[in-house]
Chains A and B, each alone.
Chain A
Amino acid sequence: MFAKYRQAFLVGLQGNLVYRWNFAVRGFFSLFHLAVVVILWGAASEGRTELGGFSLNQTITYFITLLVLQFFISAFNEDYQISEEIRNGLINQFLLKPINYFAYRLSIFVAARLVSGLLVFLPLLIALPFLRQYLAFPAHAAPYAFGVPAMIMSAMIQFSIAYCFGMLTFWFLEIQGFVILSMAFETVLGGQMFPLDLLPKWAYDVAQWLPFYYQMYFPAAIFTGRITETSAILQGYAIQAAWVILLLLVNHALWTRGLRRHTAVGG
């Protein structure tokens, strides 16, 4: 049963290793982004000991964690790949074989993120002498233990959203506009521009109910000690799990409905 997806995973691993330089270069460019973060937030907290209750080092550690998470759990171009496969008719072969397209794609996603996630440590290691002075990770084990399940569910949310956008190809010829529009939301509400706890309280409360919060911010905030209360973490898990289930249902619905519109031509 799982053997075929293991094969897909291995193929994905090989396929992504081909692009190892591409990922490494992207990683190196993220260092420029990190430089912007250090300069901007450093200048903002000049003459102050804290910003929204956290020290400058904690804030920068948050952005470094975000960077690592991005390469480990974000969907990069899965939406476009799925879109291409639908447009080119490559999905036709999955309709004839006993293989689940979602599971197949997920296996490749896991392989791809394993490769890019490990590769991002390369530029980070090189920048370590410079970054070391800013690192302020929690000293005890609990945040890491709590963070891992959140991270796995975040990866599921990331992938499911990308899959949904890919499925839209059944209805629209071009999905790029939707993807970039949603990226703007993800960037802000996922906490990539600033840690969400800096938002006014009402906005933060609203953000907590949206899926974007659980795409990136939630695990990053646990890992870096910005969310510490067990009750808050458990509540977060519950909302996150609800979003995972909801998105999986939407994925399934889009797939079955999309297929009804799909016409396979040629052989």
Chain B
Amino acid sequence: MLHYARIWLASARYSITRTLMFRGDFFVWALVELFWMTVNLLTIAVIYEHTESIAGWRKYEMILLVGTSLLIQRFLMGFFWSSIFEMGRNIRSGSFDFFLAQPGNVMFMATTRKLDPDSLVNSLIAAAVVVYAVRQLGLEPGAAQIALYCLMVACGVIIHYSILVLSISIAFWLTSAQGIEGTYFTLTEFSRLPRDAFKGLVTRWLFVYALPVVVVSNTPAKTLISGFDWRLGLWLAAAAAGWFGLAVFVFNRGLRRYASASS
């Protein structure tokens, strides 16, 4: 464990040094993410100019939900995105060899190599949006509630991470996984919707349970709004464990197929 913590710290130090070298890039990308978060919040604000509720959710409850979804996404982007995204390309080009020769678990080495400090800075802003919504709603969550919220967000990050690793692992079989990361973004759109808006049996089953993108953001948000729901919480924790297990399995299966590439 300590060994991995040390490796991770070394990668983090490297990523931060790199960011300090390309400060302009850092500002542009931090700004890009900030704008995209604003786009999502603005849409909510505009819709609530014309209606009082979306599937029973009031304006600030919805902002709390969107803020939570953005927070999970920022963490994923900040800690894993660049590494996983590059993994797809490396598998194709054969540069993936590099990770096989490193002193540690291949999946860990390949998916945690690069941090994106610009996303991590924006995760503070997403957290501020959540705090703001909590204030506006007049909620006063206790320490246990906040701890459970953080735990649920962590489960959410694990689920997103696993789904992303799964989709990029396709590259082991198809060689080209280009554009597959687009699917991930399409799915995250669903995570900004309240669970109660999924009316049809099929959509509810598909997006709420089969692909847990909706529960991922709804469970933590609901924890702050109306208290922790044990059934949903346990479901989310089980889903996190299940998806992570599946990702590890598929990744290792894919690894066996990896045949490197000659130039």
User: Using a CB–CB distance below 8 Å, which chain A residues touch chain B?
Assistant: 22, 25-26, 29, 32-33, 35-36, 39-46, 48, 51-52, 174, 177-178, 180-181, 184-185, 187-188, 193-194, 198-200
Contact = CB atoms under 8 A, between A and B. Distances in A.
Given A32-B186, A44-B54, A177-B29, A193 B197 contact: no
12 contacts: A26-B179, A29-B182, A36-B189, A36-B193, A40-B54, A41-B47, A43-B194, A48-B51, A52-B49, A177-B32, A178-B28, A193-B46
Contacts of B43: 188, 193-194
B193 A194 contact: no
Given A177-B32, A188-B39, 7 more contacts: A29-B186, A35-B203, A41-B47, A43-B197, A44-B50, A44-B54, A180-B32
Contacts of B186: 29, 32-33
A194 B47 contact: yes
B10 to A, nearest CB: 27
Contacts of A181: 28, 31-32, 35
A198 B50 contact: yes
A7 B196 CA distance: 54
B189 A32 contact: yes
Nearest to A185: B35
Interface in B14-69: 25, 28-29, 31-32, 35-36, 38-39, 42-43, 46-47, 49-51, 53-55
A178 B197 CA distance: 35
Contacts of B182: 26, 29
Contacts of B49: 52, 198, 200
B198 interface: yes
A43 B55 contact: yes
A46 B46 contact: no
Contact of A36 (B32, B42, B46, B190): B190
Contacts, number: 81
B183 interface: yes
Contact of B46 (A42, A180, A194): A194
A200 B25 CA distance: 34
B203 A193 contact: no
Nearest to A25: B179
Given A181-B28, A187-B39, A193-B43, A42 B197 contact: yes
Given A22-B179, A198-B47, A39 B42 contact: no
Residue of B54, B182, B183, B198 with most partner-chain A CB within 10 A: B54
Given A39-B203, A198-B47, A184 B193 contact: no
Nearest to B22: A174
Q: 4 nearest interchain CB pairs? A: A177-B28, A43-B197, A184-B35, A43-B55
A70 to B, nearest CB: 14
A25 B28 CA distance: 30
B32 A199 contact: no
B193 A39 contact: yes
B90 to A, nearest CB: 19
A174 B25 CA distance: 9
A29 B179 CA distance: 11
Contacts of A51: 47, 50-51
Contacts of B54: 40, 43-44
Nearest to A36: B189
Contacts of B193: 36, 39-40, 43
Contacts of B42: 188, 193
A52 B50 contact: yes
Given A52-B50, A200-B49, A40 B28 contact: no
Contacts of A44: 47, 50-51, 54
Interface string B86-110: 0000000000000000000000000
A110 B47 CA distance: 35
A199 B46 CA distance: 6
B71 to A, nearest CB: 19
Nearest to B187: A32
Contacts of A188: 39, 42-43
B165 to A, nearest CB: 20
Residue of A35, A43, A46, A174 with most partner-chain B CB within 10 A: A43
Contacts of A29: 182-183, 186
